[in-house]
Structure formats: C-alpha cells, structure tokens
Structure 1
C-alpha cells in the first residue's frame, strides 16, 4: 500500500477490523461485567453523578436499556441512586467505592493485556504505534 496516498475508506475499514480484533482479544474475564455495563460504570465514575438520561446519551443507548444496566450495577453494589438536588422527582446515579475499584481493576487488566500485545512489536512498529496514538486520541475525543 502506498502510505502517501490518502484513502479514508481503506484506513477506516482496516482500523475498524484491528480495533475489533484487539477488543475481542482483551475482553474481560467471564464473570465480570459485560463491556456495555463496564462502559456505563466507567462513565459514571468519570462524569457522575448523572441522571439516567444523561448516561443513556453518553453511552448512545436508549433509556430502557440504561435502566436495565443501572439495575444490575445497583444490585452489584457498584452504583447508588440519590435524589437529584435540582429536581426532587428525579434521581442521579453515582459510583460507590466498589464501583470505582471495579473500573480501576478492569482498566488495569485491559492495559496489561494490551501491553502484552504491544511487547510483540518490533521497535519500528512500536514507534509507528506511538506516533499514531496522538491522532487516534484526538479523533476518539467525544468533544472533537
């Protein structure tokens, strides 16, 4: 492939395949939260307290879906619901200490798995990945 020729569709297709493959290889162990539940919990840890509708928008899921996710997270003691200080009829969710710990452990586990994959790269390949990370971080930013 001529790396000087810009073909956005080919790059997009290759990136989607690679991200999907890596994601499948570093899935969390069975018995832990699903990717969707862990993603929602991580958003609550990072941005909470949040109303369920805000969390649904952040996770790009419907309100009924986020309600089911929140039920599971609450049953596991990873989040708690409290009255919304701005509207007593509504509630917000926030992570418990156990929820914060679960997110930290999942991140550490996934980072370790990715580190094992990165360790397989040659020095030149590693340098290429490091150069690409800045651009990928920029385009992955929701505010971008």
Structure 2
C-alpha cells in the first residue's frame, strides 16, 4: 500500500490510525533517511495506542518504552555497528504479545526480526511531502 503524506499532522494522523488497529505482538520496521519522519510517525502510532507521554527519538538512548493500551518499545540502531546486548533485549520484546515494537535502522538486527514484520518505507520527494510504502499490513484499511 502506498500513502502520500502532505504534512507533519498527516504523518501523525496516519500513525494514530495504524496504532489504533494494532492488537499486540506487531513488529514495525521503519526505513528512511535521517529526517524522513520516522519518529514523527511513531508519535502518531503512540497516540493510536493511547500513550499520553511525549515520544522522543531514541537515537542517543537506543531504546525508549512507553505505556498505553499496549506497551510501545521504540528502538533506533542508527549509531550501532553491532547491536550487542541490545539484540538480546530486542529478541525478548519481539516475542511479547502485549508489546508493539518499532525499529529504526534495523540493519544490525535484521537476522533476528520476524519475516512477517510490517515494513514502512518513507521517502521524501519534497521538503514537506512524504511517500509511505507499507508492506505486510494485515489490518483494516488505512
């Protein structure tokens, strides 16, 4: 599925719509350049999961956890050449049906990710417009 996003608000709204459909156990891989909108999408996803806390990029902390209707675990492996002990933490979270796991820059952990993960590729044809290509979405219409 392809979705055209025209603004930050649209990105948050799309994330919220997808988040509202999640039932737990989903793994979402976000693919896009720095500044493409991966964390903005995750803010919307958190909104759809009824998470009140402000979502922040995990670029420097590697992971952040948020409580809502389901627990959201957000990883960013951008700075890591080797996931090390974080791969063990990730593996534990991947098997938890009460969590939604979002991963940015997943190349370092690709071998432990489930094949059936939701993949969202974000491209930036202009300063404000984004194109999202969503793969392996099994839920309702977005």
Q: Please, what TM-score do these two structures have when normalized by structure 1?
A: 0.25
Q: Highest relative contact order (Cα 8 Å, sep 6+), 1 or 2?
A: 2
Q: Please, what TM-score do these two structures have when normalized by structure 2?
A: 0.25
Select the structure of larger CA radius of gyration.
1
More strand by share: 2
